[in-house]
Structure 1
Amino acid sequence: MSCHRIDELLELLEPVWQKHQDLNLTQMLAKLAEEAGFTGPLAELTDDVLIYHLKMKETGEGKMIPGIAKDYVEDFDWKGAILKARGFDDSER
């Protein structure tokens, strides 16, 4: 795991751990794994599962994933985008 992922995980973990200061690290990871629906052994829990769960934990049901929301465009014109990518001017139609 690279340093930026460790930093991201620690940043996301800190506020949750502050609420459950009585837990040690292993207990906190087991709690998060259970919340995320992870059923395998704790040794197989990946940082991706933890990061995704911690990011989505505070997001309401039915909300868009934060990383996708920034790129979302309402009523995107796929046909126009494909024509433009192929070199056709959309106004020529």
Structure 2
Amino acid sequence: MSCHRIDELIELLEPVWQKNQDLNLAQMLVQLAKEAGFDGPLESLTDDVLIYHLKMKETGEGKMIPGIAKDYVEDFDWKNAILKARGFDENER
């Protein structure tokens, strides 16, 4: 796991761990794995599962994934986007 992933995981874990200070790290990982619906052995739990779960944990149900929400455009017009990518400008017609 690269350093930025470790930093991200620690940053996401901190507020959850502050709420559950009575748990040690192994207990916290088991709890998060259960919440995420992970039922395999703990040693096969990936950082991706933890990071995704921790990011989505505080997001309400039906909300968009934070990484996707930043790129979302309301009422996106695919036709004009394709024409623009091919060099045709909608205003020139």
Structure 2 counterpart of 1:69, one-letter code: A
Structure 2 counterpart of 1:42, one-letter code: L
**3-state SS of 1:40 partner:** coil
**Partners of 1:81 and 1:4 in 2: how far apart?**
34
**Partners of 1:53 and 1:2 in 2: how far apart?**
19
Q: Unpaired segments of 5 or more residues in structure 2?
A: none
**Partners of 1:24 and 1:57 in 2: how far apart?**
20
Matches within 5 A, 1:27-38: 27-38=27-38
CA shift for structure 1 position 11: 0.4
Matches within 5 A, 1:36-55: 36-55=36-55
**Partners of 1:58 and 1:89 in 2: how far apart?**
42
Percent identity of equivalent pairs: 87
CA shift for structure 1 position 91: 2.3
Structure 2 counterpart of 1:57, one-letter code: K
Q: Which runs of 4+ in 1 moved over 4 A?
A: none
Structure 2 counterpart of 1:8, one-letter code: E
Match of 2:82 in 1: 82
**Partners of 1:10 and 1:16 in 2: how far apart?**
10
CA shift for structure 1 position 90: 1.5
Match of 1:64 in 2: 64
Q: What is the aligned-residue RMSD (CA, Å)?
A: 0.8
**Partners of 2:29 and 2:92 in 1: how far apart?**
57
Q: Unpaired segments of 5 or more residues in structure 1?
A: none
CA shift for structure 1 position 92: 3.7
